[in-house]
Structure 1
Amino acid sequence: MSDFIRSWIRNDRQERLYTKASVIAEEARSHVIKTDQNAEFSNETLKVMKLEKYPSLSLPVQFGGESLSLYEFLLLQEKIAEGDGAAALSIGWHLGIMMELSDEKSWKKHHFERLAKEVAENQAVVNRAATEPATGSPTRGGIPETTAVRQEDTYIVNGRKTFTSMADHLDYYIVSAYVEDLDDIGWFLIDRHQPGIRVEKTWDTLGMRGTESDDLVLDHVELSTDDLVEVKTKGRPSPKGWLLHIPACYLGIALAARNDAVKFAKSFQPNSLDTTISEVGHIQDKIGEMEWKLMQAHSFMYSTARRWDEEPEQRENMGPELAAVKLAVTNTAAEVVDLAMRIAGGRGLSKDQPFEKYYRDVRAGLHNPPMDDAVIRMLAGKALQA
């Protein structure tokens, strides 16, 4: 059986990094039944991630990392998602954030070095907490209802954040809030042990249950003014290549579904046939359709990642291209999983088979940013302005 991901490995370094992701993928795969049932992130998988020093890979070499390129990041994330999409998406936020902070240098030096030291030495894991019940996705521009009120040299933060992936397993949170004295949106770096922080178990979704994206509640959390690490800048935001970890994740889920569908077709023989269903014409058609869809998606995603890495001077102009990759790849991933389900037939709906989980998980990609409607409008605007 062909290995779509391995075919994109280009050198010994990528092979070494890919081996780390393969170890994590196998560990994550061994826990998917439990994590899906209980809507929890696996402690065992996180331990393996830290043993492999995965959280520090996207840090610059001088800060104890591997200076992971975007291309490499996607290779590793897709491989982990082949084992479990929820595990990949969850840790992908952390690696992407560290990549963003390293590249964009949007924090003061001492703020970044403080967090980087924790990640490099202790494999600390961090995520942004931005989404709220009233505002929905922060990409839509809503003002946080979480507030930060200054009292001399401290800020008192109150609010609730939803969709906080790995909420109970994170070492630090980067929390958005409306900062009253600045009349602006700010971001605070908060240690998980800070008094007033708690996680409420609210995650009960159809798919991606293993991300354990519970609510983060901040109840009169007292922070130093130095914990305010970022203030929202005006103007158009820079394109963020690291967000391609989202389509990479869903492509990994689709690849796992394809692999299992092919195995199923080669092993299942109903008593009405003299061969396995792999010899049936319409089954072969579906397998062939999965193949070309996966080829297209991989080519588009990885060629875009290479351009991001090799042409940094073009990054400011790559926003529409990055968004198009997300739209194309996540929708293709859903189509591939649907084909896998059709190959498995009614058996694919059974909890004894992996297909129904792939089907539920891959749907979540349509709701990760950027949303399809926003991407289509962006591309239309670009064409009309040309």
Structure 2
Amino acid sequence: MDPGAVLPDALIEDIRSRAGGYDERNEFFQEDFDALVAAGYLKAFVARGEGGLGAGMADVVRLQRRLAQAAPATALAVNMHLVWTGVAKVLADRGDETLEFVLEEAAAGEVFAFGVSEAGNDAVLFDSITDAVPQPDGGYSFTGTKVFTSLAPVWTRMGTFGKDATGPEDLLVWGFIRRDRPGWRHLDDWNTLGMRASQSRTTVLEGATASPDRIVRKLPVGPTPDLLTFGIFSVFETLLAAVYTGVAERALALAVDAAHRRRSHRNGGRAYSQDPDIRWQIAELGMAVDAMIPQLDAVAADLDGLVDRGPAWFRALSGLKHRASETAKSVVDGAMRVGGGGGYFRGSELERLYRDALAGLYHPSDPESAHATVAANLLGPLEG
């Protein structure tokens, strides 16, 4: 799939031209969203026969890299819809039709939010501080607070989970709620350092219900080999890595442009691109980006190819996301150094990228979790 055909240059430039204004006004990217819907972008994982793009993970990774180079916050927010549709495809490719309705509803224009993160819950997918209460009809109500719920102004469905403590053993219940039903509200609290246009507001669940046919899993607390857990982790980490790789690519392009544009008074007006120190710095940035892309592509291709990496999958996915977010931060930092003092001013693209890149610190897997996962795979579990 050609990313330039799905996201043509004219659309990318329109999206890039709006990114600074959305950031400055702390405003949702509504025009971008409308344009992406019109382009069929939110149906990327939907089969062509159902009106979608028929994309695989490798395709969407390339698309998200391209979108992130224009507007990181737009790409990050759209990621959350693509996570659920991507999980549905990962499951379906492996013979599990549990989330078939997600792709069907996405094909019909529904927009999915990822209502999973909870403040203070460092167990992430393996426990919850949200209450899931069984209902007489077999559905569940959810009461708790979810943070960083992107696409707040436009989602129509939200995949979420909570803990059912009413039975002999606690169960983690996964289900999907609807925007047009009561029991939820957003807080107007999204005023952040970066990724501002994503409008990833806090969502308070106050008895929001998921009908029985939208309850998709009941899992034990703690790590589990269930395919849903693998699907969420694999798609979430890979698409996050794609966004931050796109941020790094754009920062590198801006650094190259600055080196050609800036002139050295000391060296008789020669371009900084002829300065050995600047050339060395940009080469370092280029090598960092060049190392990131093959790792990302390999993981995406293995997901598409149903490759069985066994327990090493979680090591690969945690390491991928960590490497991508750290690479984005270091490349943007290097681009700021090469670009000169103009990048320090509010409103410059590099200044915005610098702030956006810092959001990578807060997405799972965080650096501590990623290192613990990789160490456990290589060294075995901690004793005692």
TM-score by length of 1: 0.86
Find out whether 1:98 has 2:79 as its counterpart: no
Distance (Å, rounded) in 2 between the aligned partners of 1:46 and 1:58: 17
1:235 aligned to which of 224, 246, 263: 224
Match of 1:174 in 2: 159
Q: Larger deviation: 146-155 or 360-369?
A: 146-155
**1:297 alignment partner AA:** M
Q: Larger deviation: 47-56 or 74-83?
A: 47-56
Find out whether 1:264 has 2:258 as its counterpart: yes
Find out whether 1:218 has 2:210 as its counterpart: no
**Aligned residues: CA RMSD:** 2.6
Shift of residue 19, structure 1, vs aligned partner: 2.3
| CA 1:168–1:180: 2 relative to 1, 3 Å | farther
Whether the aligned pair in 1 keeps the contact of 2:88 and 2:100 (CA below 8 Å) is no
Whether the aligned pair in 2 keeps the contact of 1:143 and 1:178 (CA below 8 Å) is yes
Match of 1:42 in 2: 29
1:74 aligned to which of 52, 58, 61: 61
Whether the aligned pair in 2 keeps the contact of 1:135 and 1:143 (CA below 8 Å) is yes
Shift of residue 284, structure 1, vs aligned partner: 1.3
2:117 aligned to which of 111, 131, 138: 131
Q: Larger deviation: 204-213 or 65-74?
A: 65-74
**2:242 alignment partner AA:** A
Whether the aligned pair in 1 keeps the contact of 2:281 and 2:338 (CA below 8 Å) is yes
Q: Larger deviation: 63-72 or 289-298?
A: 63-72
Q: Larger deviation: 295-304 or 73-82?
A: 295-304
Match of 2:145 in 1: 160
Distance (Å, rounded) in 2 between the aligned partners of 1:372 and 1:222: 34
Moved over 6 A (4+): none
Find out whether 1:248 has 2:251 as its counterpart: no
Shift of residue 381, structure 1, vs aligned partner: 2.4
| CA 1:181–1:22: 2 relative to 1, 3 Å | farther
**Secondary structure of 2:270 counterpart:** coil
1:373 aligned to which of 344, 368, 373: 368
| CA 1:19–1:129: 2 relative to 1, 3 Å | same
Per-residue Cα deviation, 1:272-293 (whole angstroms, up to 9, x for no partner): 4422222222111111111111
| CA 1:152–1:295: 2 relative to 1, 3 Å | closer
Distance (Å, rounded) in 2 between the aligned partners of 1:154 and 1:59: 27
Q: Larger deviation: 113-122 or 162-171?
A: 113-122
Shift of residue 253, structure 1, vs aligned partner: 0.8
Q: Larger deviation: 94-103 or 216-225?
A: 216-225
Aligned length: 369
Gaps of 5+ in 2: none
Whether the aligned pair in 1 keeps the contact of 2:130 and 2:142 (CA below 8 Å) is no
Whether the aligned pair in 2 keeps the contact of 1:168 and 1:199 (CA below 8 Å) is no
Whether the aligned pair in 1 keeps the contact of 2:128 and 2:172 (CA below 8 Å) is yes
Distance (Å, rounded) in 1 between the aligned partners of 2:234 and 2:120: 28
